[in-house]
Amino acid sequence: MKTVTISAPFLLLPLLLAAQNSLDLFIWAGQSNAQGYTGDAAKYPEDGEDLDKDILLNYTVFGKASSDGKWVPMQPQKGRYPAGHFGPELSFARELTKAGYRPGIFKYIRGGTGLEKDWKGPGDGGIYDSMVVGLKAAILQLEETGYPVQVRGFIWIQGETDAGDEKAANTYERNLMEMIAHLRSEVVKNDTLEVILGVDEQQYLLEERPIIREAQQTIAQRDQHIIYTTMYGLPKADRTHLTPAGLVTHGQRIYKAYTLAANSRPAESGQTSFADRWEYIGSAVSEPGQVVWGTSPVIGEDGKTHLYAARWPGSRVEPGLRSHSEIAHYVGNGPEGPFVFSDIALKGSGKDTWDRYGMHNPTIHRINDQYVLLYIANDNYQQPPHPSNQKIGMALSNTPYGPWNKVHGDGLLLEVPNNPRYWNFNASNGMNNPALLEHPNGRFYLYLKSEKARMGLAVSDKLTGPYVQMPFPVTKNEQAIEEGTAFRMDDRFCLLTTVNHGLVEKGGGIRWQSIDGINFEQKEQGFYPAEGYLGKEKLANAINRYAGELIKFERHQLLMEHGKPRYLYVTSGYPWFGGEAPVSYSFKYN
């Protein structure tokens, strides 16, 4: 442990003032995991870059210990352990410093406290009111020294205690919204103050009453300046509190969330958005007498571009996709083709198996010199039971030409959970639209569409599973979305989905963004409906072969290169330029 010397405020502030830079003030509040309850400062992370001396800290453990209302350098805080304790604010502030901020942390916390009974609402005489008094005094102290202050964000890590009480849990969303609104409008005078929310989703009270997590996620969904963060996967000292290492990682996650909130804004006029970068190239795959659907690309070891698409005889999408769909393989010399049919990779077993019918929605990856093909299938295409009987499968091959070996013998990778607490228990549309992503930590993240057209996530330590599904969806949408494609871009996890009923634009696409791959909060236009790229005149002969009046992308798939999108392959319920059956099209990312 590095020894930290506490400098007197009157010595510290003039030194920092010399730079004449404003202080980037962050309000840090909540209960025990915001405090760092088990953050024994005997394990205080080394300050190898000598950052702590330039970080200001003003801390209060309500009713317990404090820095006496004074600003001190970042350091272990009094109480809990002989050496003191620290929380996730440490790594958060260090990351800010390395990014060029001049952070000050106003930390006001108390373990085991609830928003309803302890923090209370504005003017109700609770901890919140005490925090506001302390915050104003702390800011005044800086300003009287001639120090310019800019309040940058509010971090609220709390909710476990409210989950232990039904009334508090049911009023949590309203109470939290009132507190944020008051803090923004009446205290810091900034209605777009960035807010980071978080709670321990795996804490036993939260598992009993997930309404707290849902409330935070709902609030974040409504406001682009609020982001929900997760504690999933962080190491714990007990069933409630993070270890010192977990606190460090948590602070780093919160830093990434702040940068995402602060930097992800709708494109200003004249700027190029993600959706604006797509340029129509032409038809990718078309076959006379066949419907072509869901084209997924991969570059083979032969340097060629390989496409895998669902196809079935006829000219209309229904009912062939459920009963006769098979996965066909096409090959081109490059991403723009032309592509020629090569072989059938997979088709329904035709036997009494889970994948008897409708091999559909393929997605292809090359991982560790293996080709990984995911798909969906069903055992009965009649309605009902279809589509609730859709499941996800996986097959592997050493070459893009096969043969394809189904994992676990029958290929089954994931089916609807049998736990009634899960968001998609008995899902009416089963499990479909798989999207696989290899996480930087070595795990595999399998995204999927399920109940109420939301995206979910299952995680595995191994490519072939077993995959453990998260009990909640990773997107917070009321309107239906689908066709999720997962990728990483600019150090963020992204999901590119189609939107059927609005949210950004009806029939367009959304690029969802996440710092952890679990909670997708930020969103922007991912692509426009077909008319946005081709115009009305070029689509004048389009024929409706599936779905509604809007000509939109279906089952889009990305080809990535060096961490950037390169091509987008889409299909549509309309042959865009006339013709008998739907085909697939390609777009280039500029």
Amino acid at 273: S
Q: Are strands 290-299 and 305-313 parallel, antiparallel or unpaired?
A: antiparallel
Phi, psi (degrees; rounded to nearest 5) at 459:
-125, 145
Give a three-class secondary structure readout of 189-206: CCCCCEEEEECCCCCHHH
Give the Cα separation of 477 and 578 in Å (integer).
34
Residue 271 makes CB contacts below 8 A (sequence gap 6+) with none
Q: Sheet containing 278-285: which strands, arranged edge to edge?
A: 278-285, 584-589, 564-571, 554-561
Residue 543 makes CB contacts below 8 A (sequence gap 6+) with 574, 575, 578, 579
Amino acid at 245: A
The label of the residue with tokens 């350091």 reads 75
Asked whether 282 and 556 are in contact (CB, 8 A), the reply is no
Query: Whole-prediction pTM value?
Result: 0.74
Residue 502 has pLDDT above 70, yes or no: no
Q: Are strands 103-109 and 56-61 parallel, antiparallel or unpaired?
A: parallel
Question: Which pair of structure tokens corresponds to residue 5?
Answer: 């010397």
For 310-323, how does the pLDDT look when each residue is reduced to its tens digit (9 = 90+)?
A: 999 999 988 889 99
Phi, psi (degrees; rounded to nearest 5) at 58:
-130, 110
Question: Which pair of structure tokens corresponds to residue 216?
Answer: 């935070």
For 134-164, how does the pLDDT look when each residue is reduced to its tens digit (9 = 90+)?
A: 999 999 999 888 878 999 999 999 999 999 9
> Of 130-139, 270-279, 382-391, where does mean pLDDT reach its minimum?
270-279
Residue 19 has pLDDT above 60, yes or no: no
pLDDT band, residue 273 (cuts 50/70/90): confident
> What is the average pLDDT across 257-262?
83
> How high is the mean pLDDT of the chain?
90
Residue 514 has pLDDT above 60, yes or no: yes
Asked whether 109 and 67 are in contact (CB, 8 A), the reply is no
pLDDT of residue 524: 86
Nearest to 335 by CA among 556, 567, 163: 567
R_g of the chain, CA atoms, integer Å: 27
Residue 412 makes CB contacts below 8 A (sequence gap 6+) with 354, 355, 391, 392, 393
pLDDT band, residue 503 (cuts 50/70/90): low
> What is the average pLDDT across 53-59?
96
Q: Where is 245: in which H helix or E strand?
A: helix 244-263
pLDDT of residue 5: 33
Question: Residue 230 CB: number of other CB atoms within 10 A?
Answer: 24
Give the Cα separation of 162 and 139 in Å (integer).
30
pLDDT band, residue 268 (cuts 50/70/90): very low
The label of the residue with tokens 């560790």 reads 368
Q: Which of 27-31, 79-83, 440-444 has the highest mean pLDDT?
A: 27-31
Q: Are strands 432-438 and 444-450 parallel, antiparallel or unpaired?
A: antiparallel
For 209-223, how does the pLDDT look when each residue is reduced to its tens digit (9 = 90+)?
A: 999 998 998 888 778
> Of 44-53, 266-275, 383-392, where does mean pLDDT reach its minimum?
266-275
Q: Domains of the chain (ranges plus CATH)?
A: 9-263 (3.40.50.1110), 280-589 (2.115.10.20)
Residue 189 makes CB contacts below 8 A (sequence gap 6+) with none
pLDDT band, residue 61 (cuts 50/70/90): very high
Question: Residue 522 CB: number of other CB atoms within 10 A?
Answer: 20
pLDDT band, residue 521 (cuts 50/70/90): confident
Phi, psi (degrees; rounded to nearest 5) at 3:
-75, 130
Signed CA dihedral, 239, 244, 247, 249: sign only: negative
pLDDT band, residue 80 (cuts 50/70/90): confident
For 459-494, how does the pLDDT look when each residue is reduced to its tens digit (9 = 90+)?
A: 999 999 999 999 989 987 777 788 889 999 988 999
Residue 67 has pLDDT above 80, yes or no: yes
Q: Are strands 72-73 and 149-157 parallel, antiparallel or unpaired?
A: unpaired
pLDDT of residue 263: 67
pLDDT of residue 21: 62
